[in-house]
Structure 1
Amino acid sequence: MKAPFKAAFFIAALLTLGCKEQTIPQAGEVNELQAIFPKGEPGPAENFTGKAWNYGVVDNDSTYNTLVGNVYFEPGARSNWHIHPSGQILIITDGEGYHQIEGEPRQALKKGDVVKCPPNVMHWHGASPTIGMQQMYILPKTEKGIVKWLHPVTDEEYQNEN
């Protein structure tokens, strides 16, 4: 085989191996999310509607005073309303979902979105009804406290776009 033909053949082989067929989910199908971290431990039913799992990525300590973790929400799952004394940063790593600050419209979330939840502000977050969501959370200044869990998000609140 001549060098130019070998190179073209090699590139074509690589492109063929790297191509994946993209499928569009049909009604009723659940999209599998691409996990970065293990699923973790189930979230307590008293703090979540539906199924959510938490995996700790960075444990809290007295040097960094920061907690980092990953939460996977199954479709339709959501947190209760809650407050973080020093706020929270969410990084959506896959799927689709929602976030809402008390008194503001519900915000749609997708992979790549970053949300800053202000300190001492009531909010909730979770997956869309049909597609799960994975998020990394960052809790800074944990010496001020971690979280105060409040009441569940009602179905009406969850479904309301405004």
Structure 2
Amino acid sequence: MELKSVNPTIKAPARNFTGDVYLTPIYNGAEPSRMTVALVRFTPGARTHWHSHAVGQTLHVTEGVGLVGTRDGTVLRIRAGDTVTCPPGEEHWHGATADTFMSHLAMLEALPGGQDPTTWLEPLPDEQYQTAHRRDA
């Protein structure tokens, strides 16, 4: 057993997010584990850019209300206690609603050799984000 101290929180890079997003790394597995876990905090209106994960991703909401969207137009409203699984290769985005904060645990696996399992794509346009709110309502 090993107790790990809390890691410093960093501001997420603007190249992958719209708005203010903060990351607190929780766990980066050592072989044979490839598990990565981070607490991600989104301010109102903040969201990821479109992206996908080679081995999929699990999101567990810890606070607030948010949205998760996929390329086919599906939008889920997520609340504290909800868990969403995104399958390998599925292009999606996620973030806070326009008027609330949202925090989630992001859990995914690294690729062998430490390769980045996330493929970052273009930003989600404001119009699409606003439509997601209406579609979800």
Asked if these proteins are the same fold (TM beyond 0.5), I'd say yes
Q: Shift of residue 115 of structure 1?
A: 0.2
Partner secondary structure for residue 159 of structure 1: helix
1:122 corresponds to 2:91: yes
- Give the Cα–Cα distance (whole angstroms) in 1 for the partners of residues 92 and 47 of structure 2: 11
More strand by share: 2
1:101 corresponds to 2:82: no
Question: 8 Å contact 1:67–1:142 — kept in the other structure?
Answer: no
Task: Give percent identity, aligned residues only.
Answer: 33
Aligned to 2:36: 67
The alignment covers a number of residue pairs equal to 126
Partner secondary structure for residue 160 of structure 1: helix
1:148 corresponds to 2:122: no
Q: Which runs of 5 or more structure 2 residues have no equivalent in the other structure?
A: 1-5
After superposing on structure 2, the runs of 4+ consecutive aligned residues of structure 1 that deviate more than 3 Å are none
Aligned to 2:19: 50
Between structure 1 and structure 2, the one with the greater Rg is 1
- Give the Cα–Cα distance (whole angstroms) in 1 for the partners of residues 81 and 46 of structure 2: 20
Q: CA RMSD in A?
A: 1.7
Q: Which amino acid aligns with 1:41?
A: I
TM-score by length of 1: 0.73
Q: Shift of residue 59 of structure 1?
A: 1.2
Partner secondary structure for residue 38 of structure 2: strand
1:158 corresponds to 2:134: no
More helix by share: 1
Q: Which amino acid aligns with 1:81?
A: W
- Give the Cα–Cα distance (whole angstroms) in 2 for the partners of residues 69 and 120 of structure 1: 20
Q: Which runs of 5 or more structure 1 residues have no equivalent in the other structure?
A: 1-36
Question: 8 Å contact 1:97–1:126 — kept in the other structure?
Answer: yes
